[in-house]
Structure 1
Amino acid sequence: MARLKYHSEADHNIDWQLDGVVQGLHEARDRWRADHGRSNESGGRSLPSREIVNEVIEAVIGAVFPMRLGPSDLRHQSEDFYIGYTLDAALNALLDQVIFELDHTAMRRGETPSDHRDQAVGIVRDFAAMLPTIRCWLDIDIMAAYRGDPAARSVDEVLLCYPGVTAVIHHRLAHQLYASGAPLLARMVSEAAHSATGIDIHPGASIGSGFFIDHGTGVVIGETAIIGDRVRVYQAVTLGAKRFPADDSGQLEKGHARHPIVEDDVVIYAGATILGRVTIGHDAIIGGNVWLTRSVEPHSNVNQASLQKSPC
C-alpha cells in the first residue's frame, strides 16, 4: 500500500464520507474499462512506474557523468566500481519496466500472453551498449552550449545549470529507448525533463551532434523532426506539425512525417514557429517570432520583414 510522504499527526476524527467517493471512483473505473475493452483484465499493475523510471534515468546519468552528476563523495579511484555497480542495479530495474511495457502493449493489441523477457533483455542491452556513444555525443552538445553562450564560465557550469543541456541529456537517453523498442518508457523519460525544464522534445525526434538550446523554456520539438549538426535554438521555438490527418473514423493517423527537417548549422531565434514537413536549409538563420510553413534555402536569413515582402 502506498504511504503518504507527508501527513497530519493530529487526530481530527472527521468523517470524510468516503464510502460514496470510493464507490463513485469504482464506477468511473468500470466505465472506462468497459469503453476501452479492458473489463476482463485481472492481476496486478501492468504499466511501468514513473517513479522507478525516473530513478533509473537519474542513476544512469550519474554513471555517465560520475564526477559531476554522481554522488558528492565519489573519488576518482572508485569511479569504475561506482559506474559498474550503479549500472548493474539500474539496468536490472529498467529490465522490469521494459517487460511491463511489452506485456502491456501486447495486451492492448489483444495478443496472446507470452514471455517478453528475451526481447526486453535485448532492448536493455542495446541501451547499455550505446551509453559510451551517448556520452561522446553529450560532450559535443555541452561544448556547443559553452561556446555558444558568452555568459557560460565553464563546461561544468553548463552541465550543472543549463536546462537546455538537461533536456538534451534526457533526450539522448530517451531516443535510444525509443529506437530500441520501448517508446512508452522513452516518453516517460522525456516528460520528466519537460516537467523540470519546460522543454518538450519528443523522444522520436532525431537530433544531430552539437545541439544547443539556449534558455529553452517553451521549446517544442515534434516526434518526426530531423535536426542536423551544430543547430542552435532559443526559447519558445516550435518545430511542430501543420496538419493532423484523420482516418475514416475520425481518429488521427499516427506515424506520418509531419515535422520540419532542420539542416546543419541553422540558428533559430526566440519565438519562431516552423510547421509541417518543410526543410530549413543549412546555415540558414530564422529570426525571432517568425511563422514559417514553407521550406527555406540554405544560407537564407528569414525575418518578419522579409516574410512581409515575400509573395508567398
Structure 2
Amino acid sequence: MQKSMELYFVSKEHYLLVQSHELFNLDHRVARAFISQIKQHYSPGQSIIIDGEKMEYLDSAGISALIHLRKLALSHAGHLKLAALNSFVLELLRISKLHRVFEVYETVGETILSLEAGKAGKKTHGPMDILLEIHSPGKIAVVKLLSPEVLLQANYESFLREIKDLLHKHRVIYLDIDVLRNLDSFGMSALLLLHRMAQKQGKRIIYVYENKTLKRLLRLFALNNILEHFDNLETALRHSGGAPDLNLFQILAKKGASQNIPLRLQAEPYFVDLNFLRTEK
C-alpha cells in the first residue's frame, strides 16, 4: 500500500514547483503526506505549481489536498497552478466543476510564463481564453481560432460573443476551428446557435476543420450534416459559392420539429438529440 511518496522541489522567489519522478496517484493514501511535504518547502508569497505529468489519478482526498494548497497560496497572495495533467484527471476536474476553480496549463513552462507575465504587469491569457486571428476584407471575414483546444461551459459565452460581433459586420464568416479537440454540450450548442443566427440574418458561417477528433464529436451530435464545412480554407473559398449540402431550416420545416432544438443555452449542461435531422435513406 502506497503511504508515502518522494517529491522534488524547485523553489524560486515567486513560485514553488512540485514534481515527482515516478508515477503516482494523489489519493487518500498519500494526500496528507503530499500536503505536508509541500508545506515544508513553501515560503509565503510563493505560488504553487503542481507538475501533474506523473499523476495518474486523484480521488476526493486528492482534490481536497489541492483545495487546501490553493487556500494556502491564496492566503499569502499566491496562486495554485496545475500543469501537464492527463486527460483522465482533467475530466475528473471537469465533472466536479473544479476546472473553473483551478488554473490549468498544458506545460510547466507555460505556467511559469503566466506567473512572470503577471509579476511584470503584463496582460496574460488564461487557458480558457478565446484567442482569434481575424482577417476581414470587405464583407467577408476569415477567422481562425488559435486557442484553446476546448469549447466548454467555462468559455462558450466568450466564443459566442466574439463570433456574434463579427456576424453583425460581415456577410460571410470562414471560421477555422481545427484546433478544437473537445466540446461539451455548451460548445455544441454554441455552434448550433451561431448557425441559426446566421441563417436568420441571411448570412453564412462556413466552418473549416479536418482533425478527426472534432469530426467524430460533431458526428456524435449529428452536427456534421448541419454545419457547412470544408477540410481546409482553400477548398472552402473555392467551393462555397453554393448552398450548404444540408439546410437546417428546410429540414426543420419538413420534420415539423423546430421546437425540439432549444435556442437558449441553459444553465446546466444538456445534450441535444439531433438524430431526427439525419436524412432518410
Normalising by structure 2, report the TM-score: 0.27
Which structure has greater strand proportion?
A: 2
More helix by share: 1
Higher relative contact order (CA 8 A, sep 6+): 2
Structure 1 length normalisation: TM-score?
Answer: 0.25
